[in-house]
Chains A and B, each alone.
Chain A
Amino acid sequence: MSFLVETILSGLMAGVMYSLVALGFVLIFKASGIFNFAQGVMCLFAALTFAGIIEKTSLPWPIAFMLTVGVMVAVAWAVERFVLRHLVNQEPIILFMATIGLAYVLEGIGDIVWGSDVKVLDIGLPSGASDFMLDQFNIYIEKLEVFAALIAAVLVGFLAIFFQKTRIGRALRAVADDHQAALSVGISLQTIWVIVWSVAGFVALVAGTLWGTKSGVQFSLSLIALKALPVLILGGFTSIPGAIVGGLIIGVGEKLAEIYVGPMVGGAIENWFAYMLALAFLLVRPQGLFGERIIERV
């Protein structure tokens, strides 16, 4: 029994980590309709920059963190200025391909500036097994994962307040609703895009830091984008709660499948199981769990 609970708990925690990456996708898709494939590489890039700054300058990590946020804002500005501005009104697939190009660029820059060897990112986040859970319930849980869940909760709360209560948040929602209407009441699309890409960059930095602490900062970090995609379609491209719930479902489903289904078919199914799960969900609800209902008119 405790094994099952342990599996489900660790699945939930892993799911939170996926959700963090998926969150960045959702933010950008909501505000600009762009399916930003570069989100995974943005995590890598942010984590690389963060680790690189700490390594090179030996600044205390809060300052390095702020510097990295600055870098991500600069990236957001550059993306808007040099890419998105020129691709307004293009078809979604063109924008999608542009973000793949962007992923290459960020990967290239990250490698050139910081080198491609594995970096250790240690900023004193708690790690190891939680003694409390181990003693009380005989359940093994990583402290880092609990911490990640807390961070995710704080981040989502922060984003919710930001979106619901602030002026910029209202503007963001207006842009998400209708570009032209938003323009006509005087909201600057370009500013909004810079802001939303910056927020996505910040989320990427948080996700990248957590993932980087867990498994080292290296190229494979950019592949977590591929883990986040099923979360995204399961939850719906446009829904922040969807990203969280989707992440939890995928995390638990993946862990359970690995243990109970995996041995039957020879194991190593985690690469595709999430996609199949998401696909099965989509056949019932084509817009994902929390996605906006797709209404089509001729």
Chain B
Amino acid sequence: MLYREAGQFKTTYQADQGIFPIAQDRYVVWAFLAVAFLVVPFFVNDYWTNAVLLPLLIYGMAALGLNILVGYCGQISLGTGGFMAVGAYASYKLMTSFPEMSMIVVVLLSGGMTAAVGVMFGLPSLRIKGFYLAVATLAAQFFLVWLFNKFGWFYNYSATGQISAPERELFGVVLTGASAQTWVKYLFCLTFLTVFALIAKNLVRGRLGRNWMAIRDMDIAAELIGVRPLMTKLSAFAVSSFYIGMAGSLLFTIYLGAVEVGEVFGINVSFLVLFMVIIGGLGSIVGSFMGAAFLVLLPIFLKNFMVDGLGLMPVMAKHVEILLMGLLIIFFLIVEPHGLARLWQIAKEKLRMWPFPY
């Protein structure tokens, strides 16, 4: 009754091709963005921003990037952690070498550099497929982490081997470093995510995205009808790594501030982001965010529930948390292998019939 397209007439092709053809969808999205941009910054405290919002936005960006590669182009990658590290170290080198550079440019350039690295490690995908490729991308993961650990140039020969983000301002407000306020960080990440989610949505609706999906569904058939596998696969790797690199850059500069590569960008991150993509829904932009939200919130919830609620010892709670995470992941895969995005879609379809389903 409330949510259906009946009576909404479109008089231009432009309106017909809108991202959200149903007006109610548009209202909800605008309202959501308005709350996120105009209301939330005034009400968040440090805990919420640091524990929930920033990781959600940043991992959302990474999941979005990986979803482009895995969900839209069908190339499984386990190198996400390594690519995020590239983004982080690129921004570190840029920030320390060019102190005048604007943070927006830094993040974008870091993404660009990661894209270049991603294309390089994407080259084997032209010959290797499926799980062979997945394992081959682990080479990128281990090699990149080793590289950043081994060569002092990447961390400016600091004694600890860590990199830490220097203080930078954007439009006269401190954005990075210890004295930055959380609402600034939040807005910066949110803006990036919004802009690039929009770009991603339009990419996957367009020619490039359709090429990706053709390659995903059957690469040989796609090749026969004239999709060039070289350009398509490499562009998927490039775009995906660009997003992942930006996520790594944001994670380091905005969120963590100081990073030790093996801990923050280890193989666990690769799996975590892949889980976000799968639980959220392969081949769905909004699913990436749902997956990120689910896997960012779940550990916090479990931890609070067990340590505060049940009074378990923190060490024991950690073990139980791992166990429960595993169980929930298996449960979700069994209940809805197509992820939260599919649940969302089903809910919307039901809502369109409501209250008189046939």
The residues of A with any CB-CB pair to B shorter than 8 Å are: 35, 82-83, 86-87, 90-94, 96-98, 100-109, 111-112, 116, 226, 229-230, 232-233, 237, 265-269, 271-272, 275-276, 278-279, 282-283, 286-288, 294, 296-298
Q: Contact: A230 with B319, CB < 8 Å?
A: no
Cβ of B320 under 8 Å from chain A: yes
Closest chain B residue to A267, Cβ basis:
B150
Cα–Cα, bound, A233→B320 (Å):
33
Whole-angstrom distance between the alpha carbons of A82 and B331 in the complex? 9
The answer, among A90, A100, A232, A271, for a CB contact under 8 Å with B271, is A100
| Least Cβ–Cβ distance between A130 and chain B, in angstroms | 32
Of the candidates B131, B328, B334, which one forms a contact with A92 in the assembled complex, judged by CB atoms under 8 Å apart? B131
Is B322 in contact with A108, judged by CB distance below 8 angstroms?
yes
In the complex, what residue of chain A is closest to B142 when comparing beta carbons? A272
Do A275 and B326 touch across chains, with their CB atoms under 8 A apart?
no
Q: Is B325 an interface residue (CB 8 A)?
A: yes
Partner of A279, one of B139, B282, B326, B330: B139
Which residue of A is nearest B275, CB measured? Answer: A97
Once bound together, how far apart are the Cα atoms of A106 and B325, in whole Å? 11
Q: Which residues of B contact A (CB under 8 A)?
A: 70, 76, 124, 127-132, 134-136, 138-139, 142-143, 145-146, 149-151, 218, 220-221, 224, 267, 271, 274-275, 278, 282, 315-316, 319-330, 333-334, 337
With A94-B278, A286-B132, A298-B224 in contact, do A276 and B146 touch (Cβ < 8 Å)?
Answer: no
For B142, list chain A residues within 8 Å (CB). 271-272, 275
Number of A-B contacts (CB under 8 A): 138
Q: How far is the CA of A90 from the CA of B337 in the complex (A)?
A: 8
Q: Which residues of A contact B315 (CB under 8 A)?
A: 116
Contact of B337 among A91, A100, A288 (CB under 8 A): A91
Name the CB-closest residue of A to B74: A93
Q: B136, B218, B221, B330: which has the most chain A beta carbons within 10 Å?
A: B330
CB <8 Å contact, B334 and A86: yes
Find out whether the CB atom of A102 lies under 8 angstroms from the CB atom of B151: no
Known: A105-B323, A226-B267. A97 touches B329 (CB 8 A): yes
B130 adjacent to A92 (CB under 8 Å): yes
Given A268-B146, A272-B142, A97-B322 contact (CB < 8 Å): no
Chain A contacts for B328, CB-based, 8 A: 101
Closest-by-CB residue of A relative to B223 is A298
The answer to whether residues A283 and B124 also contact, given A268-B146, A275-B142, A298-B221 and a CB cut-off of 8 A, is yes
Give every chain B residue within 8 A of A100 (Cβ-Cβ).
271, 275, 329
| Contact yes or no, B334 A112, CB < 8 A | no
Nearest chain B residue, comparing its CB with the CB of A87: B334
A226 with B138, Cβ < 8 A, contacts A268-B150, A286-B127, A298-B218 known: yes
Most A CB contacts (10 A, CB to CB) among B127, B129, B135, B151 go to: B135
Closest 6 CB pairs of A and B: A108-B323, A104-B326, A275-B139, A101-B329, A105-B326, A272-B142
Nearest opposing residue in chain A for B132, CB measure: A233
Given known contacts A94-B278, A108-B322, A111-B322, is B218 in contact with A282 (CB within 8 Å)? no
Instruction: Provide the bound-state CA to CA distance between A296 and B130, in Å.
Output: 13
Q: Which residues of B contact A116 (CB under 8 A)?
A: 315, 319
Contact B278 A101 (CB under 8 A): no
The residues of A that contact B324 with a CB separation of less than 8 Å are 108
CB proximity of B140 to chain A, nearest CB, Å? 9
